[in-house]
Amino acid sequence: MTVLVPGGSLLYRDPVYPFPFNPDLETHSVSGNPPVDRAQTVERRIALVTVITPFLAVIGSIFLFWGHGIGWIDLLAFAGMYIFTGLGVILGFHRFFTHRSFKCVLPMKYLLGIAGCMAAEGPIYFWVACHRRHHQCSDSEGDPHSPHMEEGGLWASIKGAWHAHAGWMFNHAAENYRRLVPDLLRDKDVAFIDRHYFYWLALGLLVPAFAVMAVTQTWWGFLHGLFWGGFIRIFFVHHSTWSVNSICHLFGSSPFATRDESRNNFFCALFTFGEGWHNNHHAFPASSRHGLLWWQFDSGYLLIKALSFLGLTWDLIEPGSEQIEAALRKKAALATEVPEVLPSAEKFTA
C-alpha cells in the first residue's frame, strides 16, 4: 500500500533505491566516473540547439509564411502534435516515469515515452533525473532549476526566473543516473526509448510534415507541417511546460505547507494539462491527480482516469479527501500560529 505524506516524504512508488536521497553535488557520469566534463559539454551544446532552433524557426516562419495566412490544416497539425507531445511530457515523463503515479499497458508505456521524446526536452533519463532532484532539493541547494537561489532586487528576480525557465540547462552539471534513476536504468523498455531519442525527435518533425503533405499533395504542405506541427509546436510545448518550473515557483497560491516556493497557477494549469497545480503536486508528489479540489481542472488526470475505465491504466495513486483536508488545515494552522519566540533583542539594539 502506498501512503501519501504531504511535504514530499514519499516521492515514488518504487522504494528500491536509497531514500531519502542525499544530493551529491559531486556529479558523475552514468558509469560513475569522469568524463563528466565531456558529458556536460555535450549536454549543454544539445541544450543550446534545442532551445535556439525552435525560437529561430518561429521567427523564420513569420517571413516564410507571410501573406499565406494560417490554414485549418496548420492549426490541426499544431494542436494535434501539441496535445500528443505535451501529454508525452506530462503524463509520460512526469507522472508515469518520474513519480510512478499510475500503471499502464506496455504499448502505452512506449507511446508515452516516445511522445515525450518528441517534445525535445531531453531523453527520459535526463528529464527524470533532473526532476527527481528538483523534488529532493526544491528551492534549496542542489535544485537544478529554482528561481530563488539568488538574493537581490528586480534584476536578481529576472535572472532567477530565466534560470528556472530555460537558463539552467546551459550551466547544468551532469546528473548521477545511478543514484537518481536506478529503476529506469534496469528497465529495458526505457533503455530502448532513451537510446533512440534523436530518432523519435526527428519522427516528431517528419510525421506532421508528411501528414500535411499528404493532405495538400504539395511540398509547400510539407513545409507547413514541418513548421506548425514540428518547430512551432516544440517552441510552445517547451515554454508552456517550462513555465511550471519558473512561473509555478513564483506566482500563484500555496494552499499546502511545503518546504519550497511552489505555487498553484490556474493559467499554467490550463496550458499544461493540469501541471499548473504545482503546490498541490509538491504536497502530494506521487499523486496522479494534480487538481486536488473539485474546481481545479486537471485534464491530464481526467485522461488517465478515462483510460483506467478502458483497462489501459490502473493503480492510480491519489490522496483521499481526509488527507487533503488535513494538509489544508495544517497550512491554515501555520498561518494563524502566534510566533512563540519574539524577535531577538539585538535587532533593536544594533
Residues found near Zn ion in the complex (CB under 5 A):
262
Report the largest interatomic distance among the alpha carbons of the chain, rounded to a whole angstrom. Answer: 81
Q: Which is nearer to Zn ion, 128 or 174 (CB)?
A: 128
Half-sphere exposure of residue 262, counting CA atoms within 13 Å on the CB side? 28
Q: Which is nearer to Zn ion, 262 or 288 (CB)?
A: 262
Q: Which is nearer to Zn ion, 262 or 280 (CB)?
A: 262
CA gap 168, 185 in Å, rounded: 24
For 1, the 3-state DSSP assignment is coil
Q: How far is the CB of 260 from Zn ion (least distance, A)?
A: 7
Q: Which is nearer to Zn ion, 262 or 265 (CB)?
A: 262
Please list, in sequence order, all residues whose beta carbon lies within 8 angstroms of the beta carbon of residue 26, skipping any fewer than 6 positions away.
none
Q: Which is nearer to Zn ion, 146 or 176 (CB)?
A: 146
Q: Which is nearer to Zn ion, 241 or 262 (CB)?
A: 262
Please list, in sequence order, all residues whose beta carbon lies within 8 angstroms of the beta carbon of residue 195, skipping any fewer than 6 positions away.
none
Residue 14, C-alpha cell as written in the block: 518504487
Q: How far is the CB of 93 from Zn ion (least distance, A)?
A: 10
Q: Kindly compute the dihedral angle of the four CA atoms of residues 114, 43, 206, 166, in this order, to the nearest 10 degrees.
A: 90
The helix-helix angle for 124-136 and 106-118 (nearest 10°) equals 90
Q: How far is the CB of 94 from Zn ion (least distance, A)?
A: 6
CA gap 187, 252 in Å, rounded: 37
CA gap 311, 104 in Å, rounded: 8
With beta carbons less than 8 A apart as the criterion, state whether 298 and 310 touch: no
CA gap 331, 333 in Å, rounded: 5
Q: How far is the CB of 88 from Zn ion (least distance, A)?
A: 15
Q: In the chain, at which residue ranges do the beta strands (DSSP E only) sit?
A: 103-104, 313-314
Q: Which is nearer to Zn ion, 61 or 262 (CB)?
A: 262
Please list, in sequence order, all residues whose beta carbon lies within 8 angstroms of the beta carbon of residue 43, skipping any fewer than 6 positions away.
126, 169, 172, 174
Q: How far is the CB of 47 from Zn ion (least distance, A)?
A: 19
Q: How far is the CB of 46 from Zn ion (least distance, A)?
A: 23
Q: How far is the CB of 236 from Zn ion (least distance, A)?
A: 21
Q: How far is the CB of 212 from Zn ion (least distance, A)?
A: 34
CA gap 226, 236 in Å, rounded: 14
The helix or strand, by DSSP H or E, that contains position 224, with its residue range, turns out to be helix 219-225
Position of minimal CB gap to Zn ion: 262
Q: Which is nearer to Zn ion, 212 or 248 (CB)?
A: 248
CA gap 147, 114 in Å, rounded: 30
Q: Identify any residues that bridge with 253 across adjacent strands, giving them in sequence order.
A: 264
For 314, the 3-state DSSP assignment is strand
Q: Which is nearer to Zn ion, 179 or 233 (CB)?
A: 179
Q: How far is the CB of 143 from Zn ion (least distance, A)?
A: 8
